């Protein structure tokens, strides 16, 4: 998306963590998010054995299922635990990655949060680093688009909306993870869960599209690694733009 309001100054990720949280809480919507959701977040963390706000965050989104998952790992834990699953309340486009400006597609691939917007037109928003190196190599277009966010409200032309109420929680988790020293919060976006009947059906529908199947195949290693190990995979991009697991 290319919304003009995103041209306003947005907090990038080069700020000292403690100062970052302090600066974020200068904004009314962030303060309201803490007032409304801090206790809920602490309770949800406690339910998976994380007793304080000292954790790392991992976000997964599934387009077909319209689900966004939050996984957290406490500093004394050895693996990530699923803390909460949110409904993605609106969607645009179809299966497959985003390749150009204005195609309404939600990206697919391995990303991270690269900006926080406490004064978004969609209440609060978290930007992801689309287009990444894979997107740039695989896009045939001079303008692959940009400005992809996880945000509030319930409208989209390529982003991931959660409603104003739920973005308060997700935004708070992201602030606290950064405040705990996490420099990059990974965001993995898939066409669907890459297993079972749904994925088989998806591949069958695209059996004549070898380029799409090859791309989805390159997502599988990272997906399976996390499923098996509950740890973040180290994903690289080859010279053709496809993902691979750096083991």
In this prediction the pTM is 0.93
Domain coverage including residue 163:
4-198
Q: Tell me: the pLDDT tens digits for 188-212?
A: 999 999 999 999 999 999 999 999 9
Q: Give 157-217 as a DSSP string.
A: SSSEE--HHHHHHHHHHHHHHHHTT-S--EEEEESS-SSHHHHHHHHHHTTT-HHHHHHHH
- Per DSSP bridges, beta strands 149-151 and 160-161 are parallel
Give mean pLDDT, residues 176-184. 95
Q: Is the pLDDT of residue 7 over 60?
A: no
How many structural domains are present in the chain? 1
Residue 247 is predicted with a pLDDT of 79
Q: Is residue 65 one of the residues assigned to a domain?
A: yes
Residue 210 is predicted with a pLDDT of 98
Contacting residues for 96 by C-beta, under 8 A, at least 6 apart: 105, 108, 191, 212, 215
- Rounded to an integer, what distance in angstroms lies between the CA atom of residue 96 and that of residue 101? 15
* CATH, residue 155: 2.40.440.10
Q: Is residue 149 one of the residues assigned to a domain?
A: yes
């Amino acid at each position: 998306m290319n919304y003009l309001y995103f041209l306003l100054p947005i907090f990038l990720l080069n700020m000292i963590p403690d100062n970052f949280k302090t600066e974020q809480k200068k904004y009314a919507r962030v303060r309201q998010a803490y007032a409304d959701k801090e206790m809920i977040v602490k309770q949800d963390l406690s339910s998976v054995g994380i007793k304080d706000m000292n954790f790392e965050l991992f976000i997964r989104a599934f387009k077909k299922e319209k689900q966004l998952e939050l996984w957290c790992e406490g500093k004394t834990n050895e693996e990530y635990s699923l803390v909460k699953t949110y409904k993605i309340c609106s969607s645009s486009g179809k299966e497959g990655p985003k390749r150009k400006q204005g195609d309404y597609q939600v990206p697919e691939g391995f990303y991270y949060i690269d900006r926080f917007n406490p004064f978004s037109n969609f209440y609060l928003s978290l930007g992801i680093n689309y287009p990444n190196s894979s997107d740039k190599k695989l896009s045939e277009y001079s303008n692959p688009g940009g400005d992809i966010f996880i945000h509030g409200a319930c409208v989209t032309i390529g982003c991931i909306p959660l409603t104003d109420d739920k973005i308060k929680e997700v935004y708070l988790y992201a602030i606290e993870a950064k405040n705990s020293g996490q420099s990059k919060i990974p965001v993995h976006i898939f066409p669907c869960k890459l297993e079972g009947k749904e994925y088989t059906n998806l591949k069958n529908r695209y059996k004549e599209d070898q380029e799409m199947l090859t791309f989805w195949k390159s997502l599988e290693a990272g997906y399976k690694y996390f499923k098996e190990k509950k740890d973040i995979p180290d994903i690289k991009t080859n010279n053709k733009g496809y993902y691979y697991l750096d083991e």
